[in-house]
Amino acid sequence: MECDLVIVGAGPTGLYATYYAGFRGLSVAVVDSLPELGGQVTAMYPEKPIFDVAGFPNVKGRDLVDGLVQQASSAGATYLLERTATSLDHRPGPDGGVTLTLDDGSVVEAKAMIVTAGIGKFSPRPLPAGEGWLGRGMEFFVPGFDPYADRDVVIVGGGDSAFDWAINLEPIARSVTLVHRRDAFRAHARTVEQVRASSVEILTKAQVTALLGGDGPDGPLEKVEIDVDGEQVVRPAQAVIAALGFVADLGPLQEWGIETRKRHLVVDAAMRTNLERVFAAGDITEYDGKVRLIATGFGEAATAVNNAAVVIDPSAHVFPGHSSEG
């Protein structure tokens, strides 16, 4: 297919870039390896409250994505989901463009490209004791809280996701136990204090050593064994959430000739990469003073689209005026 602008990544930054490209009158295609729009927010924490988006004191991840999808619908974009961009043919010059080949063999011809791929493709870090239990009582992500009502839940991890899920599950679960291998946490200090003040049991210097079920090897999960500083304890559990973080991989992006630094794409103030007609925005970018927030990604998306618009049509202006102007 052919379009003015191809966006690689359909997370919040990519969705806002899609809206803004439509506002600039550009035709848009959006590529993402996930089956749904929203990127990591949809895949990992759709029910998590987000507090740092301007204008929203508290917005759930799912609701934020729904709003962004509705906003982006005005662009009439073509969404190419469950497809990974595998190769890039970059042609500089006034009549240049980009050819993006996807893993299903389809090809996108565009006049410019914006990479908004977050941290790239990601996969959860495994819980060694949980081998064979995925989907049978153990999960890596929490797409919704209702299935955990009146259940004993064990959460493994010490980061923001682990503590956020502990806070949200504590009012509805029968019990919540948080297990972490160290006595220090990576989560925000305020969140840690909230969990400490709740009924959540926190076990530190601890690790889950076994998941145990009833009714034979394929029976439902009933309890977990935990080593707490050398002492073996058992906790009831019908659900285990392994919130151990994830491994990020830029994948084929690393072979496209874009300058990288610490697995991020280096950009200038206009969100340009070292390749002409190739821009980037959001968490995947790197520059002096970079702050990785959703709010930052929105501004970078607008900057990238406005500068790409001039590359696509040299008679255009970088700043098109405000959307509120007639």
Binding residues: 13, 32, 40, 45, 85, 122, 283, 324
User: Can you read off the two tokens belonging to residue 65?
Assistant: 């994505």
User: Can you read off the two tokens belonging to residue 240?
Assistant: 């285990």
Look up residue 34 and give its amino acid.
Answer: L
Please, is 21 exposed, middle or buried when counting C-beta atoms within 10 Å of its C-beta (0-12, 13-18, 19+)? Answer: buried
- Cβ atoms of residues 99 and 88 within 8 Å: yes
The shares of helix, strand and coil residues in the chain, as percent rounded to the nearest 5, are 25, 30, 45
- Cβ atoms of residues 180 and 206 within 8 Å: yes
Query: What does the radius of gyration of the chain's CA atoms come to, in whole angstroms?
Result: 22
Annotated binding site for FAD: 13, 32, 40, 45, 85, 122, 283, 324
Q: How far apart are CA 175 and CA 197, in angstroms?
A: 15
